[in-house]
Amino acid sequence: MSTAATAPLVLASASPRRRSLVALLGVDFRVVPSTVDESAIVGATPLAFALAAARAKFLDVAQREHGANADAPVLVACDTIVCIDEVERAPQRVR
């Protein structure tokens, strides 16, 4: 992971697991967590919710990081959802 603003990859996530997965790629990257309030996101299905959350996170970080910068880095955003008896829940962080 890099803290340099010139890292070619930006991970729009504060997840330690996602950070470790991206580190396995062996490329310089930096972490820019999204400020999206996931409780305000609506999805008709778990898949729709996860896609809407990932898109919202992407747009949030892209707006702050990319702006009008034509040389902006690649931005990766994603979301995870767990369904138990058709009830959607965000995974709990393991501490």
From 28, 71, 79, 85, the catalytic residue: 79
| DSSP helix/strand/coil, 76 | strand
Would you call 85 a catalytic residue per the annotation?
no
Distances (CA, A) of 2 to 30, 80, 88: 5, 24, 34
Cα–Cα distance between 34 and 73 in angstroms, integer?
16
Catalytic residues: 79
